[in-house]
Amino acid sequence: MANITVLGAGAWGTAVALSLASRHQVCLWGRDSAAMATMAAARENGPYLRGFSLPATMTVTADFDAALAHVAVGALDDATATPLLIAACPVAGLRPLLGQLKSRPIPNLVWLCKGFEYGSGLLPHQVVAEVRGEPVAGGALSGPSFAQEVAQGLPCALTVASDCAELRQRVVALVHGGNMRVYSCDDLVGVEVGGAVKNVLAIATGVADGLGLGLNARAALITRGLAEITRLGTRLGGQAATFMGLTGMGDLILTCTGDLSRNRRVGLELASGKKLDQVVAELGHVAEGVPCARAVRALAARLGVDMPITNAVAGVLFDGDDPSAMVAQLLARDPRGES
């Protein structure tokens, strides 16, 4: 048993905390003191993950110092236990969260966020390196996973990616177990790119499904979307094989086809004629594909990477393009070899 702190009490952070609390002492931190007090009293995260009771092995707090003290070296009687700190914020919140950590020692840091930071175009691991200004034993925990299913204890497979082999081994030892299977790899760039861009492509497939274009169109978008992910990922230094695994093809298929996908829901609602502001407001949760589409379009243009589906999605989201026109634009592209 180890001490684990999850920083971020949204749906995914809560679900991961619930899963780990069956085997470890888990502290879930959220910045809203009133919301955390309500959660502690109700033993449920009503706004984000209703219907799942928080076990006795899981504490909730808005006290940042207390959350970090939970994973301080020596917090457990067992001196061999390894603490783990999990950042479960959206990618836009990673830099502010790291700022709160300042120069404090960080034990075995992993982040769950998926996306590029808009403005800088940085991946999460690059944000970590820039803010900390020093090497950090950290990595990304990613893969095809819906919060509700993880909270239910349904089977799930994730990948921890890090340049640090010892960190990968520690995370696997702590997280792998029960119905959660954890693989590891050293391709941090590839894992992060796959997790980011698949959200944009899920919006595209949602639009296609909302327009009633059929399963053939969905399969084409997923397949060509995977080609876009691979082109950008390898251009950034990722390994092509990574995009055929859990954090590439696996996460892409789940997010594009699963009814629990927020990003797919954005596409469905846009196809129905709703405006983006209304869709986001009604969703009530962060849909990472929306800001990611803007960031990826800018990055791909800067790098000269061809990403027509991503560009079409960004056009609908930010340029006022009609969803039907998005499909027509993609179909009107000149024939080319499949690559």
Q: Which helix (H) or strand (E) holds 161?
A: strand 156-161
At 273 the three-state DSSP class reads coil
The active-site residue out of 114, 198, 274, 275 is 198
CA 111, 114, 116: angle at the middle one, nearest 5? Answer: 110
Left, alpha or beta for 153 (phi > 0: left; psi -120 to 50: alpha)?
left
At 67 the three-state DSSP class reads helix
Rounded-to-integer distance, Cα 321 and Cα 40, Å? 45
Output 283-286 pairs: Cβ under 8 A, ≥24 positions apart: 284/47, 285/10, 285/11, 285/48, 286/10, 286/90, 286/262
DSSP state of 124: H
- 198: annotated active-site residue: yes
Instruction: State the amino acid at position 321 in one-letter form.
Output: D
DSSP state of 247: I
Structure tokens at 326: 């998005």
Are 171 and 110 contacting, i.e. CB atoms less than 8 angstroms apart? yes
At 49 the three-state DSSP class reads strand
Structure tokens at 24: 């470890």
**83, 118, 121, 125 from 110: Cα distances, Å:** 11, 21, 20, 10
- What amino acid positions are annotated as catalytic residues? 198
